[in-house]
Chains A and B, each alone.
Chain A
Amino acid sequence: MVKKFKVGFKFCGNCNPYIETQQLLLNLKKELKDEVDLVFWENQPYNALLILSGCLSDCAERPDFSGPTIVVAGNTLDHFPLEEENLKTTLIKKIELMKSEFN
């Protein structure tokens, strides 16, 4: 049986968010439910880490994790600006690409 790809997620704390990271995570969970397990960052091990910061300050503390990390910070994905409506699909593609490399 093939192991399901696991992604740990961590929020920044959302003090004054420009994007709805909680909604983004819910959407990811819904769309990736058959392929990827999204788990709280404390539940290691996982294959990749997803940082969800509500704004560009991206002040989420990084857990001790040496694997690949994806950073959403406001309307940016790994520091590249994106339209909010494209954020989810681009992020899903990125996670799927990581998953295919993992398999």
Chain B
Amino acid sequence: MPLMTGYQYMESLKKLKPVVYFEGKKIESVVGHPLLQPHINSAALTYDVAHNPAYEDLATTTSHITGKKINRFTHIHQSTEELVKKVKLLRLIAQQTGSCFQRCVGFDGLNAVYSTTFDIDKKLNTKYHERFLKYLQYVQENDLMVAGAMTDPKGDRGLSPSKQADPDLYVHVVEKNDKGIVIRGAKTHMTGMVNSHEMLVMPTSALGEEDKDYAVSCAIPVDAPGVFHIFGRQTNDKRKFDKMDQGNAEYGIVGGECLTVLENVFVPWDRVFMCGEFEFTGGLVERFATLHRQNYGGCKGGVSDVVTGAAAAIAEYNGVGKASHIKDKLVEMIHLTETLYCCSIACSSEGVRLPSGAYYPNSLLGNVVKQNVTRHIYEIDRLCQDIAGGFIATLPSEKDFNHPELGKFIRKYYVGKADYSTEERYRMARLIENMTGGTALAESMHGAGSPQAQRVMLLRMGNLPHKIKLAQKLAGINVDNSKKEAAATKQE
């Protein structure tokens, strides 16, 4: 089924049997469970937009393998225009969900592994790319949701994988035979994993020869034997059993992350895309990181559009919508949002063609995107909270709001401008509370890599020697003469 609907996606999930735990209890069915359903709804939208004439230009494209119309989330970018469309698609969906829709991680993993397997084969005469193409076609033709599984637990961050006290702190190969490999370890912060069909395992950092057992990339069904998932807590997650108090009951907050444990998981060779080629791990990680950092001006731009709209609405409900300082803050929020978006568009437009034919965003600018997100989202959310007022953090519960005796007092004392009901004000306050705090903020900081990871890239790619030369030229310093003079001075 090349283009599933959201409903078909949910039905397809029901056929899987992933082992998922929360608070020590096994979740029997991810579909319909209050903790998980908002995230499933969000991911389902990535399927529904492909069927909507208003959105299909962004949400679908043509497979370069089969020539068929496919969901863009299963595609390998074939031009810089397609990189731009990816960003626009993410903004579009985020405007509707106000939350993470999870499917970009696997999308970026597919693109990173595609180009890397091509490079490995060229150098080492292996068959990884051929295998990967078959797998990709399977993903495209079945419109699968693939979770990108990169981040290892990492243990002592000062030690390489093979030097860790526990060898399982990074996913590694524990056995190879004629049928395939067996891997063990875990992947953390797994966005959308429990409601995906497949996971694409990738190494988490550049590795040396001593760590070659950790240089592994492969595809595994989320319900494969030996795989289990421990669903993560989120701020206010018990509110998922309520409605209004969730703020965004339909789509939740961020992606619904988990710890995925891989306990001696067998992977057949046709699903193995890297096994020991440690010299390609750095490139794979860098490509995935850039492709993923590219996204954030799109998805966080869309989420910030909602936050800005919520700020404008609550100001109006509070009766201060026309105040000049409110307008000024809203302008600042728009400015910051569009700054995020600008960078995502820029790194896409400045993308390059890799040897595999896949297109890849400009790495320097892609890292700028994510670095901005680690700051601007905090400022956008701060401004929103400033505009909204403190009541977003002190409101009584939904149960009290709907209580036959107490409810009338809440409606009376939380009233705002007469044109709006207290319930409208309450709902908007809850949306703001949940979208601008806790887990949502931490995700902006650390999703797609922590700020320092981007700063390392900025230093590496920022071309400081060129900047020094520019300054020297304007300062009238002839570098060649300076060097000669220095050498002559030494000789003297």
- Give me the interface of A with B, judged by CB distance under 8 Å: 9-16, 21-22, 40, 59-61
Contacts and interface: CB of A to CB of B under 8 A. Distances in A.
Contacts of A13: 54-59, 85, 88-89, 92
Interface residues of B, number: 16
A100 to B, nearest CB: 27
Contacts of B57: 10-13, 59-61
20 contacts: A10-B57, A11-B53, A11-B56, A11-B57, A13-B54, A13-B55, A13-B56, A13-B57, A13-B58, A13-B59, A13-B89, A15-B88, A15-B95, A16-B88, A16-B92, A16-B95, A16-B305, A40-B53, A59-B57, A60-B57
A59 B85 contact: yes
B344 to A, nearest CB: 11
A40 B84 CA distance: 24
Contact of B91 (A11, A15, A21, A40): A15
B256 to A, nearest CB: 24
Interface of B: 53-59, 81, 84-85, 88-89, 91-92, 95, 305
B54 A21 contact: yes
Nearest to A53: B57
A46 to B, nearest CB: 14
A10 B89 CA distance: 16
B490 to A, nearest CB: 59
Contacts of A10: 53, 57
A62 to B, nearest CB: 10
Contacts of B92: 13-16
A34 B359 CA distance: 46
Nearest to A52: B54
A27 to B, nearest CB: 14
Contact of B55 (A14, A59, A61): A14
Contacts of B53: 9-11, 40
A9 B53 CA distance: 9
Contacts of A59: 57, 81, 84-85, 88
Contacts of B305: 16
Which residue, A9, A16, A21, has most C-beta atoms of chain B within 10 A? Answer: A16
A15 B54 contact: no
A83 B229 CA distance: 55
Which of A12, A14, A21 has the most chain B CB within a 10 Å cutoff? A14
B359 to A, nearest CB: 16
B54 A11 contact: yes
Contacts of A11: 53-57
Contacts of A9: 53
Contacts of A14: 54-55, 58, 92
A13 B60 CA distance: 10
